C-alpha cells in the first residue's frame, strides 16, 4: 500500500513537538515591531534629508533623527531574525534574536542600576549632553524643537541656569558678538501669561544681562536639570510602569523564542532517533 509510515521522517508525528501557536505568536510579535522599526527608519531618513546640507554633519551626536535611525536599524535587524527564524524554524536565527534581546535587557537593567548608584556622574553626563545641545541649538531644527519642548514643559531655561545659553554663538554675551540675539535666551524660556492677548515673542531679548531675580519676572531662570530631577522623583511610579512596559515585550520575546528553540531541538532529536532505528531495526 502507498503512503508514508507514521514513524518516517517528515510525518505529522515528527512535527508534533513544534506548537503552531508559539511559532506564529512569535512571528506576529516580531512582525509588529519590524513594521515599527521600518517606520522609525523612514522618519529618521526623511528628517535628515529635509535638513540643510551644511547641517548634515554638524551635530550627529545630538541629532534626534540619527538616534531614531540607529534604534530603528537595530530593531529591524533583531526583529528580522525573529520573523524569519520563527517561520523557518531556524535555531541559529532564533538564538541570535534571543541573545540580542537578552543583552539589550541586561544593558537596560545595568544602566538603570548604575544610574541610580552613580547619580552624580549620571547628572554630570546629562549636563554635558544638554550643554552640547545648547551649542548646536540653531544648527538642527529637530534638536531645536526638542529643546524648546523640554523648556516649555518643565518651565526651565538652560542646563543649570539661564546663563548657560551664552555657550551658543548666537546668544553669547561677548561684546564683539554681532548677533541680534546677543545675551538673549530662546522664546521657550519665557513666562507666558495667559491673560495677554498679544504674546511678545522677543521676551527673551537681553535677559542674560539682567540679575537673577529681575530676569525671573520675565523668564524661567532655573535650569532644566534640577527640574528634570525633581520631576523624576515625583513620578517614580510612572517611570517604573514605563520601564516595566518596555521590559515585558522583551521578556515575552525571550520566553517564546526559548520555547520554540526547545521544541525544534526535540523535533530534530526525534527525527534522528527515527532515522537511526529505521536504518538499524535491531538496535
Q: Report pLDDT for 282.
A: 58
Residue 4 predicted with pLDDT over 50: no
- Between residues 196 and 2, the one the model is more confident about: 196
pLDDT in tens, 145-160: 889 999 999 999 999 9
Q: Are 100 and 80 in contact (CB under 8 A)?
A: no
Element (H or E) spanning 157, and its range?
none
| Cα–Cα nearest to 15, from 261, 264, 258 | 264
Q: Are 33 and 246 in contact (CB under 8 A)?
A: no
Euclidean distance between CA atoms 117 and 119, whole angstroms: 6
- Among 5-9, 83-87, 223-227, 245-249, the range scoring the smallest mean pLDDT is 5-9
The dihedral through the CA atoms of 164, 168, 170, 172 has a sign that is: positive
The set of residues, in sequence order, having a beta carbon less than 8 Å from that of 192 and lying 6+ positions away, is 199
The dihedral through the CA atoms of 259, 264, 268, 270 has a sign that is: positive
Grid coordinates in use for 278? 529505521
pTM of the model: 0.67
pLDDT in tens, 128-137: 888 888 998 9
Question: Rg of the chain over CA atoms, in angstroms?
Answer: 28
- Among 17-26, 104-113, 195-204, the range scoring the smallest mean pLDDT is 195-204
pLDDT in tens, 224-254: 998 888 888 888 888 888 888 888 989 999 9
122-233 belongs to which homologous superfamily?
A: Tetraspanin (1.10.1450.10)
Q: Are 87 and 28 in contact (CB under 8 A)?
A: no
Domain boundaries, the chain: 20-117+236-279, 122-233
Instruction: Check residue 13 and report its DSSP letter.
Output: T
Q: Report pLDDT for 51.
A: 63
pLDDT in tens, 164-177: 999 999 999 998 89
Q: Are 94 and 82 in contact (CB under 8 A)?
A: yes
Arithmetic mean of pLDDT, 196-209: 80
Arithmetic mean of pLDDT, 139-145: 83
Tell me the residue ranges of DSSP E strands in the chain.
none
Q: Are 93 and 81 in contact (CB under 8 A)?
A: yes
Helix (H, G, I), strand (E, B) or coil at 3: coil
Residue 78 predicted with pLDDT over 90: yes
Residue 95 predicted with pLDDT over 90: yes
CA distances from 143 to 51, 139, 170 (A): 11, 8, 16
Query: How does residue 54 score in pLDDT terms, banded at 50, 70 and 90?
Result: very low
Amino acid at each position: 500500500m502507498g503512503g508514508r509510515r507514521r514513524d518516517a521522517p517528515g510525518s505529522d508525528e515528527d512535527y508534533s513537538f513544534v506548537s503552531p501557536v508559539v511559532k506564529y505568536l512569535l512571528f506576529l510579535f516580531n512582525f509588529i515591531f519590524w513594521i515599527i522599526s521600518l517606520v522609525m527608519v523612514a522618519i529618521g531618513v526623511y528628517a535628515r534629508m529635509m535638513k540643510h546640507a551644511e547641517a548634515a554633519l554638524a551635530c550627529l551626536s545630538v541629532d534626534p533623527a540619527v538616534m531614531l535611525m540607529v534604534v530603528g536599524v537595530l530593531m529591524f535587524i533583531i526583529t528580522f531574525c525573529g520573523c524569519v527564524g520563527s517561520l523557518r524554524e531556524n535555531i541559529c536565527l532564533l538564538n541570535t534574536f534571543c541573545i540580542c534581546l537578552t543583552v539589550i535587557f541586561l544593558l537596560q537593567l545595568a544602566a538603570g542600576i548604575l544610574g541610580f548608584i552613580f547619580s552624580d556622574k549620571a547628572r554630570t553626563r546629562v549636563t554635558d549632553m544638554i550643554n552640547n545641545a545648547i551649542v548646536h541649538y540653531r544648527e538642527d531644527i529637530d534638536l531645536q524643537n526638542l529643546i524648546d519642548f523640554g523648556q516649555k514643559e518643565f518651565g526651565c531655561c538652560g542646563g543649570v541656569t539661564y546663563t548657560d545659553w551664552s555657550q551658543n554663538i548666537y546668544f553669547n554675551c561677548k561684546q564683539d558678538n554681532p548677533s541680534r540675539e546677543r545675551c538673549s535666551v530662546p522664546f521657550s524660556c519665557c513666562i507666558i501669561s495667559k491673560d495677554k492677548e498679544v504674546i511678545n515673542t522677543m521676551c527673551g531679548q537681553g535677559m542674560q544681562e539682567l540679575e537673577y531675580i529681575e530676569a525671573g519676572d520675565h523668564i524661567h531662570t532655573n535650569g532644566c536639570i534640577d527640574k528634570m530631577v525633581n520631576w523624576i522623583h515625583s513620578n517614580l511610579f510612572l517611570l517604573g510602569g514605563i520601564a516595566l512596559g518596555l521590559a515585558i515585550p522583551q521578556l515575552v520575546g525571550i520566553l517564546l523564542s526559548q520555547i520554540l528553540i526547545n521544541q525544534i531541538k526535540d523535533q530534530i532529536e526525534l527525527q534522528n532517533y527515527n532515522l537511526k532505528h529505521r536504518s538499524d531495526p535491531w538496535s
